[in-house]
Amino acid sequence: MTDPVTDPVTDLVLLLLTAFAVWTGWRVFRVDSMVRASFSLMLSFMAVGAIGLLLSAPYIGIATVFMMAVEMMVMAIFMVMFMMNPAGLNPMMMVHQHGVSIAAGLAAFLGLGTAILLSAPPSDPVPPQARVVAQLGHELLGPSMLIFETAGVTLLATMVGAVILSSRQGRHGAADEGSRPPGLTAGGAPAGRTPGEEGGPGHHHHHGGHG
Amino acid sequence: MTLTIVLLGAAALIGLGLYGALSQQSFVMLMMGLELMLNGALLATIGFWALALGGMPEGQLLAIIVMAVMAVEMAIGFALIVAVYRKRQADMTESLGTLKH
Amino acid sequence: MTGLLVLAVLATLLAGACFAVLLDRAQPALVAEFFRARVETEAPDRLNRDLAPAWYLALAAIGLSVVPFAPGLALIDSPAGIVIWGSCEALIVVTIFLHGWAPNAPFPLIGAYRYAALALPVMLPSMFVLIAAALPAESLSLVAIVDSQREIWNVIRQPLGLPLFLVVALALTLRGPMDYADGADIATGTSAEESGAARATWYLARAAMLVSVSALAATVFLGGPLGPLLPGPVWLWLKTAALMALTAWLGNHVARPPPGRMLTLLWILLLPLSFLHLAISGVLAL
């Protein structure tokens, strides 16, 4: 059995997958539609999952694909609830402090990259015959059980917190009481319909419709 | 060499994620930036575990924890977006200007 | 051996898809549809529109390839076989969503969003049921799960498992009570704007998906290739065919509730039931 770590073909595939993960990650902020953005992010995660598979971490790799497919589906659903342009095949660029963000991103990449290139990490690959999934199971329910259980309790707290935060009923009345949409211009009148106004949708919004 | 490629990829993902989290106005897009940073962390974890730790099970444990963090971030993030949307009817960071003063 | 297994997977998928087409009460004329001209929509997402049927078909093939055809013999014999199937399920939901989103038209989009909102809660019982089946086997590998059923099948040991998984099967194959994506009430939803070869492939992929889901259910709950006298693959085919017929019958005879009521049913009834199922199976496996 060849060592998967020194095999040049594995190296090449790994390089391509890493490049794909970074490219799809970059596409997330460059595509027009949020559906494309979220599924581009999913592709980035899937590439990382495939790298996990390649580097002999089958459970982590496949679980990443599973988790991210579900998460991005959730993201797509939320997006249609809240975005102005849900199906969104129109150009979309909504950014602030753009220059600062680019600088921060570059600085993070260059700093981490320099650290990686200057340091010499130990080379100690996974032994090929290791039963990594069983090892993970024994670790989770053995020495690291407290950490695992803490993660479980954290997730439970998350569920409770998410339900409370997103609930419409609150101690001081409905959460959306007195809610007003933001103005179309800074400091302008609220967008959308005002409460007193009668008439169905389309009164103010003649967008041409379908066809 | 392999580990360097993987780690550089992870660094690029973290940089991209940081850019997205700082620049996007929409909360959902902002969260995609956070997820991308965690993606980089996951990639680095897998790389270190597979190539520099000799398959210590704790490395896989850390990857599981990263995934749990993603789940928590998504759930609380979306709950916060729902709460903001109920009050402001918008999915924009600018709609939270009243928190400034 | 690998070549033989690839052949077995493909042959099973093809023969099973033909059987699935026969089972359906109202299947469109697939062959005639194949040569029909294509209808264009305004500003579609071409990549996903063209590829969604192919992805659906490919996911059915990947799902089937983790199923052991004889004891100890699967094309993808992974220590995390059940998680591979779980990833397939999640990606199936994504594929169906993209299939509806890509044409950029109202009915497909309604079908896609409606399906995504209902399919996500279905994923949860599915995972709990499969994890419960992995408990007596003490492994996530499907080969080990088959081995653990030598004395008693999971359908008897974990009686709630198969009924819960049938709901998942109906959702993944877009049938009857769970057909929120392609339902007749929204003019066949995600495939409403589709015609010609793409539509035929989509319906073929739905038939192939029925084979894949049924084969997995047969493996996890009915002992898969285990059985007396006949060779392993024959037993698997017989059990798969029986489950396909059962799923198709349920799809044809159970009414579809409105989406809101189904959502309540899924979260209030099915999810606690699957928790209960997991708890009981865990205690029994101790």
Residue-wise DSSP of B48-82: HHHHTSSS-HHHHHHHHHHHHHHHHHHHHHHHHHH
Give residues 115 to 144 of A whose Cβ lies within 8 Å of C.
Answer: 131, 133-134
Element containing residue C222 per DSSP (H, E): none
In this predicted model, which residue has the larger pLDDT, A157 or C226? A157
Q: Is the pLDDT of residue A83 over 80?
A: no
The Cα–Cα gap between A53 and A60 comes to 8
Report the amino acid identity of residue A77. Answer: I
Alpha carbon distances (Å) from A167 to A30, A159, B26, B75, C272: 33, 12, 21, 13, 21
CA-derived radius of gyration, chain B: 17
pLDDT confidence band for C46 (50 / 70 / 90): confident
Q: Would you state the pLDDT for residue C1? A: 76
Whether C282 has its CB under 8 Å from any CB of chain A: the answer is: no
- Which residue do the tokens 């995600």 mark? C190
Q: Is the pLDDT of residue C242 over 50?
A: yes
What would the pLDDT profile of B2-39 be if each residue is shown by its tens digit? Answer: 888 888 899 999 999 999 888 887 788 888 899 999 99
Alpha carbon distances (Å) from C147 to B74, C130, C220, C256: 38, 15, 10, 37
Sorted by where each starts, the structural domains of chain B and their CATH numbers stand as 2-99 (1.10.287.3510)
- A96: chain B residues, CB-CB within 8 Å: 23, 25, 93-94
Indicate contact of C with B: 3+ CB pairs under 8 A. no
ipTM associated with this complex: 0.85
- A104: chain B residues, CB-CB within 8 Å: 18-19, 22
Chain pair A-C, CB pairs under 8 angstroms: 67
Stretch A12-26: mean pLDDT:
89
In this predicted model, which residue has the larger pLDDT, C265 or C140? C265
Q: And the tokens for B86?
A: 């109920």
Listed by start position, the domains of chain A span 1-87, 130-167
Residue A33 carries which DSSP code? -
Stretch A87-114: mean pLDDT:
77
Residue C256 carries which DSSP code? P
Q: Please name every residue paired with C4 in a beta bridge, in sequence order, or none if there are none.
A: none
Q: Would you state the pLDDT for residue B17? A: 92
Q: Would you state the pLDDT for residue B13? A: 92
Cross-chain residue pair C83–A59, CB shorter than 8 Å:
yes
In this predicted model, which residue has the larger pLDDT, A202 or A38? A38
- Which residue do the tokens 């013999």 mark? C73
| CB-based contacts of A48, cutoff 8 Å, min separation 6 | A21, A64, B39, B42, B43, B46
Helix axes C106-137, C197-221, angle to 10 degrees: 20
Q: Would you state the pLDDT for residue C83? A: 87
What would the pLDDT profile of C124-171 be if each residue is shown by its tens digit? Answer: 889 899 988 888 887 888 888 888 888 888 887 888 888 999 999 999
pLDDT confidence band for A209 (50 / 70 / 90): very low
Separation in Å, CA of A208 to nearest CA in chain B: 23
Q: What integer best gives the mean pLDDT of chain A? A: 77
